[in-house]
Amino acid sequence: MKKLLILAILALVPLTLAAQADKADVRRGNRKFARDKFKEAEINYLKATLKDSTSVPAQYNLASSLYRQEDWDGAAGALEKVQSDDPRVWFNKGDAALQKKDYKAAVDAFRQALLQTPDDMDAKENYIYAKLMLEDQQQGGGGGSDQNQDQNQDQNQDQQQDRQNQDQNQDNQDKQDQQQQQQQAEAQMTPQQAQQLLRAVQAKEKATQEKVEKEKAEALKSRQKEKNW
């Protein structure tokens, strides 16, 4: 299944409006945010939320700074505290949910964003992407189920190891059966048959030894010719 590209993330721009109680801390956080000092910005936004826990800019911008630090859970938690239906809030909720592979939450959030801004192409494409990933996940597919992939890989490796063990056990059993058959055959031989078998084996060994000696002699002779030449 072809995956769509996740486009622009609106969590990049912090809100600038602030209530009087937290305005100074939010402004400080915004200046740090603009210089990519996201951890320092987070501290300023946290101070603002302590002064006014209902401050939309403080909570929203706190989520933005956490998102930039790839703290997806923290960003999602901060966005849940934002008391606003601003489509940017819903969009960012969807983005955070995508990062966590919570595709159901992502679909719901992008749907809410689209209800308010139907022409937002970023929200629309992210909504389609999240919906496809959710369907794939529900059908047991690989898109967004890394744990299932790891489990399947481990299971395949275990099955392959089991087959190898079974083959090895079968080979050992075949060797044991062959040895037993040979022992039984030898036990049933008459002394004359045993003597004939022994002479046959000795003759074969002698022929093999003569062949080896002949090959060695020819090889030595060949090397001597090459050296003299």
Which pLDDT tens digit goes with each residue over 97-136? 999 999 999 999 999 999 999 999 999 999 999 999 999 9
Question: Residue 92 corresponds to which amino acid?
Answer: N
The two tokens of residue 178 are 């062959």
pLDDT of residue 61: 93
**Residue 228 falls inside a structural domain:** yes
pLDDT of residue 146: 53
- CA distance linking residue 59 with residue 86, whole number of Å: 13
Answer with the one of 91, 124, 142 that is the final residue of a domain: 142
Q: By residue range, what is the domain housing residue 14?
A: 10-142
Do 105 and 202 fall within a single domain?
Answer: no
Of the chain, the end-to-end C-alpha distance in Å amounts to 70
- CA distance linking residue 43 with residue 136, whole number of Å: 39
**Residue 159 falls inside a structural domain:** no
Phi, psi of 181, rounded to the nearest 5 degrees: -65, -40
**Residue 151 falls inside a structural domain:** no
The two tokens of residue 220 are 């030595």
**Domains held by the chain: number:** 2
pLDDT of residue 213: 76
Do 87 and 25 fall within a single domain?
Answer: yes
Residues in the chain: 229
Q: What is the largest CA-CA distance in the chain?
A: 116
- CA distance linking residue 39 with residue 66, whole number of Å: 8
CA 101 → CA 27, 137, 145, distances in Å? 33, 10, 8
Estimate the crossing angle of helix 121-138 against helix 103-116, to 10 degrees: 150
- CA distance linking residue 30 with residue 112, whole number of Å: 27
Residues 6+ apart with CB under 8 A from 145: 137
**Residue 164 falls inside a structural domain:** no
Burial class, 81, CB count within 10 angstroms (exposed 0-12 / middle 13-18 / buried 19+): middle
**Residue 195 falls inside a structural domain:** yes
pLDDT of residue 38: 95
pTM for the structure as a whole = 0.53
Answer for the pair 49, 59: CB distance below 8 angstroms, yes or no. Answer: yes
Do 90 and 200 fall within a single domain?
Answer: no
Residues of the chain where predicted confidence (pLDDT) is lower than 70: 1-22, 141-164, 166-168, 171, 175, 178-198, 201, 216-229
pLDDT of residue 18: 40
Question: Residue 52 corresponds to which amino acid?
Answer: D
pLDDT of residue 174: 72
